[in-house]
Amino acid sequence: MHADTDRPTLLLVHGAWHGAWCWDSVRAELDAAGCRSRTVDLPSAGPATAERSRPVGMLDDAEAVRDTLRRVDGPVVVVAHSYGGVPVTQAVADAANVVGAVYVAAFQLDAGESMVTFLGTPVPDDGSGHAPPYEDARRILFGDVPRADAERAVARLRPQSVRSFTEPVTTAGWRTVPSAYVVCEQDRALEPSRQHALAVRAGTVHRLPSGHSPFLSMPRRLAALLAGIAGSALPARRN
């Protein structure tokens, strides 16, 4: 099916430890539905490299999102999963082509908050300035994902920069950009109660009976929900 050029492009932003690969199944479904999509690989997910003179943080991820947005023609709805909500919140504040943001079990933080301050828990550090993936990632992140798919996903997880978890948001884009929140009701990584606390900041709230990774456990249903959100006017934020 040809993409519907009247609808915004969906920019899909992954969470911690992941990469753009995690959206592949959702992108296939969106393409079949005529929805255009793009992805971005956040620099904070991955081991340190010789080219980096300092630890990579949330603001570097936000710049990667902005750079991708600058390469998209026309309006964009940015979709963030989990940690990806933090740099997306930072990036969309001054992006002229963004018409909406969707937070999928994501951190819709306010200015001055970081992921660590919101959760109130320390970040494990492997000694190199990186946080390793969950030891039980199969259960916590992919508990409702088919076993073979979950095992492939676990094998692709990468270390995450600790700085990305501790760097605070300086501007909250959802205060000026319409937003929606998707609560994952069976989430073992970000408890639904925490998601509800974040979702009050969005203009509208949707729910999926999924674990933390609906892009792998129910890609068709997630894609249909995202396409529907992008195809309609997102409501303004709640006061």
For residue 238, is it within any domain?
no
d(CA 83, CA 65): 13
For residue 3, is it within any domain?
no
Kindly report the CATH number assigned to the domain that includes residue 208: 3.40.50.1820
For residue 64, is it within any domain?
yes
For residue 71, is it within any domain?
yes
For residue 18, is it within any domain?
yes
For residue 192, is it within any domain?
yes
Regions of the chain where pLDDT drops below 50: 1-2, 238-239
For residue 2, is it within any domain?
no
Range of the domain at 36: 9-230
Those residues with Cβ within 8 angstroms of residue 131's Cβ, 6 or more apart along the chain or in another chain: 16, 123, 124, 125, 159, 160, 161, 162, 165
Question: Which residue is it, tokens 């094998």?
Answer: 155
What tokens does 208 get?
A: 């999926």
Q: How confident is the model at residue 236, as a pLDDT?
A: 55
> What are 20-43's pLDDT values in tens digits?
999 999 999 999 999 999 999 999
For residue 235, is it within any domain?
no
Q: How confident is the model at residue 128, as a pLDDT?
A: 79
Q: How confident is the model at residue 53, as a pLDDT?
A: 56
Structural domains in the chain (count): 1
